[in-house]
Amino acid sequence: MKKVALALAALLGFAGTAAAQDYPQRPVTMVVPFAAGGPTDVVARIVAEHMSRTLGQQIVIENVAGAGGTTGITRAGQSAPDGYTIMMGHMGTHGAAPALYPNLKYDPAKDFAPIGLAAGTPIIIVAKKDFPAKDLKEFMAYVKANEAKMNMAHAGVGSVSHTVGVLLNSQLGIKPAMVAYRGTGPALNDLMANTVDYMADQIVNVAPQISAGTIKAFAIATPERSPALPDLPTTKEAGMPDYQVSAWNAIFAPKATPAPIVAKLNDALVKALDDDNTRKRLLELGGVIPDKAGRTPEALQKLVEAEVARWTPILKAAGAVAQ
């Protein structure tokens, strides 16, 4: 019996290795846990295009929105660990969400095989075009004076825009109505239509509309200005020096994905981030391309652990989490 079991294990092990060597044999699904057109979707489509070329198989984007991105990540995390389902997570789904969902069905640090960081995405405070403020100081004064009628857009509890929005409101000392969307792509559409007042979101979503003048931007929450939007002041320059926050997008696979498959996916990501056209597209949108050391699965694992540890006390202090 024991011999049979051993022989079977050897056979299965061999089959697993062979499958990993031949990987991928068919298209790979990348789950984006938000609506199409938003920042997670944009970063996913840009890197997936070049990764598909390296892998010799198409990466197909599947948008599975809901619950601030946790619905799509839960589903993708529970799919077969064979490399054919991967996901684009971010600072919300793999950093802030555990603090906000006591019954979250996954542990960002334990239940995934990290593939690598795709892009850093600074946060920008934006408002509808008709918002009656011309700079951050006027914005701060206006939202404080008109708190009761303010609507802030976000992509669901635990998303980046929700998390950084909660932080912004807590620093402003206001509690506006929070309007949830299935991603900040649709939220941005409503901002452009003047039906919500303001939002804080990832630069790769809002940069084109800021440049086009269809929305207002008050400040970027990083120590330095972004080369993609050189005229936009930092929060420090504009009058809210303590509002410092940045997000990121990264690729994960289900936990038990074989190491050779993880290595192939990471290699394809690294090659995408070295590709001139891919870099250009990310940089034009204000994305920050991770350096070599920041692209490894190990670096992503460390980042996730650090982010989970970072956000829990911040969200508690901001009053977003029951004490």
Give the residue closest to ligand ASP by C-beta. 38
CB 10 to ligand ASP: min, Å = 44
CB 61 to ligand ASP: min, Å = 12
Report yes or no: 101 and 158 within 8 Å, Cβ to Cβ.
yes
Helices in the chain by DSSP H: which ranges? 2-22, 39-55, 70-77, 97-100, 136-145, 160-172, 184-192, 203-212, 235-238, 259-274, 276-284, 297-317
CB 169 to ligand ASP: min, Å = 15
Q: Does 92 bind ligand ASP (CB under 6 A)?
A: yes
Residues between 65 and 84 that touch ligand ASP (CB under 6 A):
69
Site size for ligand ASP, by CB under 6 A? 16
Q: Which is nearer to ligand ASP, 124 or 299 (CB)?
A: 124
Which residue among 20, 30, 40, 131 contacts ligand ASP (CB under 6 A)? 40
Q: Does 209 bind ligand ASP (CB under 6 A)?
A: no
Which residue among 89, 108, 120, 183 contacts ligand ASP (CB under 6 A)? 183
* Residue listed under structure tokens 């498959």: 261
Q: Does 39 bind ligand ASP (CB under 6 A)?
A: yes
Q: Does 202 bind ligand ASP (CB under 6 A)?
A: yes
Cα 160 to Cα 93, 124, 168, distances in angstroms? 8, 12, 12
Q: Does 98 bind ligand ASP (CB under 6 A)?
A: no
Q: Cis peptide before 33, with omega less than 30 degrees from 0? A: no
Q: Does 201 bind ligand ASP (CB under 6 A)?
A: yes
Residues between 113 and 172 that touch ligand ASP (CB under 6 A):
155, 159-161
Tokens of 235: 């929060």
CB 244 to ligand ASP: min, Å = 18
Count of all residues that appear for the chain in the document: 323
Q: Does 34 bind ligand ASP (CB under 6 A)?
A: yes
CB 42 to ligand ASP: min, Å = 8
Tell me which long-range contacts 269-273 makes (C-beta under 8 A, separation of at least 24).
269/47, 269/51, 269/115, 269/116, 269/118, 269/295, 270/116, 270/295, 271/50, 271/51, 271/54, 272/47, 272/49, 272/50, 272/51, 272/54, 273/47, 273/118
Cα(4)–Cα(166) distance, integer angstroms: 58
The residues binding ligand ASP (CB under 6 A) are: 34, 38-40, 69, 90, 92, 155, 159-161, 183-185, 201-202
